[in-house]
Structure 1
Amino acid sequence: MSTTPLYGGIEAGGTKWICAVADAHGHVVATGVIPTTTPQETIAGAVRFFQDHRPLTTLGVGTFGPVDLRTSSPTYGHIMATPKPGWAYADVVSPLGAALRVPVGLDTDVNAAALGEWRHGAGRGRKTIAYLTVGTGIGLGAVANGRLLHGLLHPEFGHIRIPHDRTRDAFAGSCPFHGDCLEGLASGEAMRRRWGQRAENLDDPMAWELEAEYLAHAVMNLTYALSPERIIIGGGVAKHAGLLAQVRARAFDLAAGYPATSVLTDRSAMDAYVVSPSLGDRSGITGAIELGMRCRP
């Protein structure tokens, strides 16, 4: 059995948990996938994976949410009111820490992705970045001066309100809480309900023009509220060919040259401001490992 310090990471998604072990340099040496079934079965599967790769020094978890990140809270480390069957108020941190006997670093899956891209990917070298994931839902992670953004809970950017022209788009929205918030209008689930098919199968130019409109408003809200040096847009919907180019073009027009910074006054600079994740699908697990390394004793 190796005595080299190893660091674990979990990207805890709604359909699967991706588990990985990395060395002290962040190089991944082992990976595994655990189906997301019940909390008990899923956590037990993750524990078995990491027990085969001892000695584990720490573990980082980036999980779907909402999740309680307040370390002083009696429900710290619990998934909160999620629609995922069986997972509402499930404790994630305590059983992992107790079984593996290691410190556990925790954050949202999208904050983990933001950290991964800031540390090793498209955000490297920037002080402040925002990571917007556009998939089944919409979420935001942000890093400012090396610190992940937290507040009352964690960012819930998918639920901001954006302009909704009901003449152009009569769809009422898919969000069970707000109807036509950003997630209710621009998520993969919203696209499926509006157009009758999944985003990856959708070729209608009008559908993608509308999607770009909504995401461009999201980009401008992010720009004016957080002033990040780079906005990274990931997730399955964002992989559609040409979508980010449309988002950049529309966001530039919406900015109308204000404020007079290069990315809002030079169309070519916008290409380097709104980008895809350079780590691809590895953003989340890379960030989860980094979360673990940050809580090393």
Structure 2
Amino acid sequence: MIYGAIEAGGTKFVCAVSDENLTILERVSIPTTTPEETMKEVFAFFDQHQPNAIGIGSFGPIDVNPLSETYGFITSTPKVAWQDYPFLNEMKKRYDIPFGWTTDVNAAAYGEMKKGAAVGKSSCMYITVGTGIGAGIVVDGKVIHGYGHPEAGHLLVRRHVEDTYEGTCPFHKDCLEGLAAGPAIGNRFETPAQNLPTDHKAWEIEAHYLAQALVSYTLTVSPEKIIFGGGVMKQKQLFPLIYKEFEKLMNGYVATPNLEDYIVPCQLEDNAGITGCLLLAEDALNNK
């Protein structure tokens, strides 16, 4: 039994195949350029291995509604070449096998649920903070989809009193992503975020925005575990600042687990997405 996985990101596609125990046998990284160039290499990889099912976690927005005419498409992405690209349809034309289909962050959430920081829980939320901000949600062991998929990275937040930066989001300017993604930090202080010292004011402002979002997620989704991934969250000094601001904003209204157990770094690190995609492939085959 061979399972396939595609973690389709805006910068690169990671493709992998595993055995029935989800042990990765081979993986490749393919630059995300145009559909023609990138998919040619994706097909070449899977043609070699002929998997029995493939799980796909894609950058978005994507259409996850099976009743929609554009189900399986990448839709209104800022990556112009990929707008309205029928990703899943093209894969199905090439391979007559079952597919799992969701967002890259939903796949990462599923990976952390089954194999990472949320093992033993029935719900979790995975939030990546990097070039953008995205979130995936798993409830009762299932990835959450509705008419669309969660876009919790574009939550509207209240400004920090010392922040005058307009925001980077091309749609909303000062939503969570616009104020707290990596480019916003770098632009606000005119230096790459990773070059800022750990005691810089930037991290207090960042924690202010992220904690607001976490309070909203806790009050609406109430996940058993909130897991952070992405390059910005490798700044470990952020976590104590987030805990402090979260407690201040929540003000005792809703009980949560100990915050150090509730709001945590991802355990699978850079393998969360590809692990989730392999699990989705396994599910797709089992549910065939």
Q: TM-score range by the shorter chain?
A: over 0.9
Given that 1:213 and 1:247 are in contact with CA atoms closer than 8 Å, whether structure 2 keeps it comes out as yes
Question: Is 1:286–2:275 an aligned residue pair?
Answer: yes
Given that 1:47 and 1:100 are in contact with CA atoms closer than 8 Å, whether structure 2 keeps it comes out as no
Given that 2:256 and 2:262 are in contact with CA atoms closer than 8 Å, whether structure 1 keeps it comes out as no
Aligned to 1:266: none
Q: 1:24 aligns with which of 20, 27, 39?
A: 20
Aligned to 1:198: 192
- Report the TM-score when normalising by structure 1: 0.93
Q: How many residues align?
A: 285
Over the aligned positions, Cα root-mean-square deviation in angstroms equals 1.2
Gaps of 5+ in 2: none
Given that 1:11 and 1:285 are in contact with CA atoms closer than 8 Å, whether structure 2 keeps it comes out as yes
Q: 2:261 aligns with which of 265, 272, 275?
A: 272
Q: Which runs of 4+ in 1 moved over 2 A?
A: none
Question: Is 1:79–2:74 an aligned residue pair?
Answer: yes
Given that 2:65 and 2:146 are in contact with CA atoms closer than 8 Å, whether structure 1 keeps it comes out as no
Identity of aligned residues (%): 44
1:214-229 superposed matches below 5 A:
214-229=209-224
Given that 1:43 and 1:92 are in contact with CA atoms closer than 8 Å, whether structure 2 keeps it comes out as no
Given that 1:8 and 1:60 are in contact with CA atoms closer than 8 Å, whether structure 2 keeps it comes out as yes
Q: Which moved more, 1:193-202 or 1:230-239?
A: 193-202
Question: Is 1:139–2:134 an aligned residue pair?
Answer: yes
Gaps of 5+ in 1: 264-268
Give me the whole-angstrom Cα distance separating, in 2, the residues matched to 1:201 and 1:288.
33
Given that 2:31 and 2:38 are in contact with CA atoms closer than 8 Å, whether structure 1 keeps it comes out as yes
Give me the whole-angstrom Cα distance separating, in 1, the residues matched to 2:236 and 2:222.
27
Aligned to 2:3: 7
Question: Is 1:90–2:79 an aligned residue pair?
Answer: no
Q: CA deviation at 1:197?
A: 2.1
Give me the whole-angstrom Cα distance separating, in 2, the residues matched to 1:73 and 1:225.
27
SS in 2 for 1:73: coil
Give me the whole-angstrom Cα distance separating, in 1, the residues matched to 2:8 and 2:196.
28
Aligned to 1:181: 175
Question: Is 1:213–2:203 an aligned residue pair?
Answer: no
Deviations along 1:180-211, one digit per CA (max 9) or x if unpaired, are 11111101121122112222222261001100
Q: CA deviation at 1:253?
A: 2.0
Q: CA deviation at 1:22?
A: 1.0
SS in 1 for 2:55: strand
- Report the TM-score when normalising by structure 2: 0.96
Give me the whole-angstrom Cα distance separating, in 2, the residues matched to 1:288 and 1:270.
29
Q: 2:107 aligns with which of 106, 112, 116?
A: 112
Q: Which moved more, 1:280-289 or 1:244-253?
A: 244-253
SS in 1 for 2:80: coil
Aligned to 1:170: 164
